[in-house]
């Protein structure tokens, strides 16, 4: 019995060593390429001999264990049940976990009484399509969709937009302040330990490049605006 446990332990150590070696080899190759994003995890991919490399920005690439061959692209699975984008599934799951860990009190939330699902929207109060989406938040709530706003001032953290958004997040009534800002009305200056900078950084890590950037409950990203009826249907399909 002791030999059995000893053998299992040795196999586990060997496996850990193999993964550590693969991670080091891949990291060295990325460093040679001056790749700017660090590795968060290395695991097996569905393709024999190819490793799945999860990056700190939520994206996925693939590599051989020696790090000499790297693939940046989409891995598809083609079967009797259709085509699956395996890369998108992994990236969505990473985004889902990150967004699920966001404290609710750090988001500006517009919620129906009985939500069917939610969306997390990285928003900019001066963005035209963000304003159009906000006009339809009431419709989305009526359709059972909870809207959770995270801050993403596109002009950067030193911009007037960022300062307005900091005041929105520090307002006593965040929902009213958000609506006023989206309508171009003045928002009273306020300060606190706001999460605007942290959320801006998080959005960049998750691949947000413009606003509104809408994440469904399953982590799938929808870049840009969609009318309330269409958006609600997609949100429910991706809950």
Q: Which residues are catalytic?
A: 124, 127, 130, 154
List 121's β-bridge partners, or say none. 149, 214
- Residue 239 CA to residue 236 CA, distance in Å, equals 5
CA atoms within 13 A on the CB side of 211: 25
Element (DSSP H or E) covering residue 60: strand 60-63
Q: How far is CA 40 from the centre of its chain?
A: 15
Which residues have CB under 8 Å from 239's CB, separation 6+? 116, 117, 216, 217, 218
List 104's β-bridge partners, or say none. none
């Amino acid at each position: 019995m002791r030999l059995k446990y000893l053998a299992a332990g040795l196999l586990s150590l060997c496996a850990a060593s193999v993964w550590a070696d693969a991670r080091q080899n891949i990291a060295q190759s990325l460093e040679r390429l001056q790749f700017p994003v660090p590795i968060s995890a290395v695991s097996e991919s569905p393709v024999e001999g190819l490793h799945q490399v999860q990056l700190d920005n939520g994206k996925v690439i693939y590599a051989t264990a020696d790090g000499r061959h790297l693939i940046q692209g989409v891995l598809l699975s083609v079967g009797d049940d259709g085509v699956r984008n395996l890369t998108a599934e992994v990236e969505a799951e990473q985004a889902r976990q990150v967004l699920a860990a966001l404290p609710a009190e750090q988001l500006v939330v517009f919620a129906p009484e009985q939500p069917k699902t939610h969306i997390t929207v990285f928003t900019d109060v001066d963005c035209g399509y963000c304003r159009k989406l906000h006009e339809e938040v009431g419709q989305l709530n009526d359709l059972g969709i909870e809207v959770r706003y995270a801050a993403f001032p596109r002009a950067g953290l030193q911009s007037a937009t960022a300062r307005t958004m900091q005041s929105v997040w520090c307002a006593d009534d965040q929902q009213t302040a958000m609506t006023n800002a989206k309508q171009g009305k003045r928002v009273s200056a306020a300060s606190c330990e706001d999460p605007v900078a942290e959320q801006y950084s998080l959005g960049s890590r998750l691949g947000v490049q413009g606003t509104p950037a809408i994440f469904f409950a399953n982590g799938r990203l929808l870049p840009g605006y969609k009318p309330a009826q269409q958006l609600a249907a997609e949100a429910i399909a991706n809950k």
